[in-house]
Every structure is written in C-alpha cells, then in structure tokens.
Amino acid sequence: MGKVATMDFHVTSECSQECPYCWGPQDFETAVDTATALSILQKMRDSEVRRVVFTGGDPLQRADIAELIRAARDMGLEVALSTTGDKLTEEFLAATAGAIDLISLPLDGSTEEINAQTKKPGHFAAIMGALALLGRYPKVDVKLCTPVTRKNIDDVVNIAALIDRWARGVGNCVFYNVFQTFPRSMTPCRWDEWVVSDAEFERMAANIRAHGFRIQINFLTHAMLDRIYVMVFPDGSLVVPSGPDYRNLGRFLDISDLDAALERSDFAAFRHFAHSLGWGKRPTGPGLVPTLRSHLS
C-alpha cells in the first residue's frame, strides 16, 4: 500500500451553506469535467489509495456525482461521501447506496436554533430528514460531524445524545466526529470569535466521555487535524493543508510519484494513516468494542 490511505476529492466548491469557519475550497468557478474526474479516480487507484472521500462544497451539487461514485467503486476504491445533506434524496440513495461505504453529514447544533447559528435556516430539519432516509440503508455507515465553536460548545453533548438515540433505532454503524474548529479558511474569518482553546475542547470532551454514549465518538484536536489531509481540489490540483496554508503541489494528474511528492511536503504520513484507521473501526456488539476491518490488516 502507498503512503496515502485516504484522499479527499473536493469535486466542487458549490454549497447551499456559508459556514463562517469553512475550510473547504471556495469560489472555484469551474471544476474538473467528468472525464478528468474519472482519470483522477483512476490515478488514485493506481497510486494505491484505498479510499476516496467525495467532498466539497457539496458533491451533490454535481450532476455527475452518481456516475463518479459508481466508477470509483467499480475501480475498487472504498467510497465515502461527505455531503451538506440538504440534497440527499431517496432516488439518489436508491441509485448509489450499493456503491457507498459511508456518508458523512454536518450537524452544528441539537436544535434548529443552535444549528442555525452557523448553518442556514432549515438545515437542521434537512439533516433529520437525511437520517430518517439513511436508516433505511443499514449497510451504509453514517458519520455526523460537528466543528466545535464558541457558539455551540455547550451543546455538543446534546448533539451526541441526539445521535446516540437515533443510532439505537437503526442498523447502520454510526460514528460522531467532533472537530476543534481549525483556523484555516480561503476567505477571511475572525477566528477569535469562533475558535475554542485546547483546554475548553478537552473539558467538553471529558464531559461527553463521562456520559458513556454507545456510538463511537472521535475528538479531533488542532494537533491531530493538521497536515493529515491529502486533497484534490475542484481544479484538479493536489493540496496538502498545513497550519493556515493550503499547500498546492501542482496538477494531480501530472504527478508521477504521489509518495515522493508528499515526502517533499510536510505531510504527516504516520498521523494520516492512524487517522484513516478511525473509519475502519466498527462496533461489534452490545459492548461496542471497536475492531479493525479485516481489510486493514
């Protein structure tokens, strides 16, 4: 296996939301066309990448996303979809769920009011609708994600409780990623209004751990989140974010040796690999003892 277990393919920067902290690509007027996107997927496969995460922006803003998902699966890649959630439909799932291993959805609050501090009105209801739909596809793993900010830090325990309740009624494997909102964005942001300190994040995490929720909760600090992502941006360039910077390594399709290119950057290969194992942990029964998927061994 190559050094890269997982690549994030930001297939568009278009999105229905305008989260003030968004670290995704912004305002790309065009994105790679279908043929180029397929070549990028094949190159990931040839580079021994195991998993592609279709992300954005919102990948469901692309008309060809179902085709890309099915092609990635046919090439033998594991497929994750990180979507804003408000465009997830029964029709889309019926056509693609068999090719998707995991769907990731953002949730910034346990109520419409709290969620709407960073998302547009109605997003909370859209996520509740998406969860109801996903419960009908138990083979698809589901991950909820919350970037923790000064606005929602006291509510994260309630979000965990909401997800835990939902998880008890469905057959899906359910994960919850709690991010310490990372101060990186392509548009200006007043980070002091949003970012929580390491100590505040750790206190919140300790409180949530003490509740003994059954779902697997991953707490991701700034130290853990930095330099672990390998991304292809909407224009087809390879990007490894580092601190506040987006390090652009050039056009992905022009890179002959991915591992060598990454060695010249400050990509944290070991932490990347450790982080990538998180998705491979699946609950095994009432005790929810995490185990690694056999294909990781």
Ligand X SMILES: C[S@@+](CC[C@H](N)C(=O)[O-])C[C@H]1O[C@@H](n2cnc3c(N)ncnc32)[C@H](O)[C@@H]1O
Residues engaged in binding ligand X (CB under 6 A): 15, 21-24, 55-56, 58, 82-84, 106, 145, 147, 179, 181-182, 184
Q: Map tokens 């769907």 to a residue.
A: 103
How many Cα neighbours within 13 Å face the side chain of 157?
13
Taking CB under 6 A as the rule, does residue 84 contact ligand SF4? yes
Quote the least distance from Cβ 41 to ligand SF4, whole Å. 21
Taking CB under 6 A as the rule, does residue 57 contact ligand SF4? yes
As a whole number of angstroms, the distance between CA 250 and CA 234 comes to: 13
Quote the least distance from Cβ 7 to ligand SF4, whole Å. 17
Q: How many residues lie near ligand SF4 (CB under 6 A)? A: 10
Written as one letter, the residue type at 262 is L
Return the residues of window 218-237 that contact ligand SF4 according to CB under 6 A: none
HEC-encoded secondary structure of 246-293: EEEEEEHHHCCCHHHHHHCCCCCHHHHHHHHHHHHEECCCCCCCCEEC
Of 20 and 283, the one with the shorter C-beta distance to ligand SF4 is 20
Residues 138/171, Cβ–Cβ less than 8 Å: yes
Residues 159/144, Cβ–Cβ less than 8 Å: yes
- Other Cβ atoms less than 10 A from the Cβ of 234: the count is 24
Of 120 and 251, the one with the shorter C-beta distance to ligand SF4 is 120
Taking CB under 6 A as the rule, does residue 19 contact ligand SF4? yes
Taking CB under 6 A as the rule, does residue 109 contact ligand SF4? no
137 binds, among ligand X, ligand SF4, none (CB under 5 to 8 A by kind): none
By CB under 6 A, which span of 13-21, 62-70, 184-192, 249-257 interacts with ligand SF4? 13-21
3-state class (DSSP) for residue 153: helix
Interface residues toward ligand SF4, by CB under 6 A: 15, 17-19, 22, 24, 56-57, 84, 106
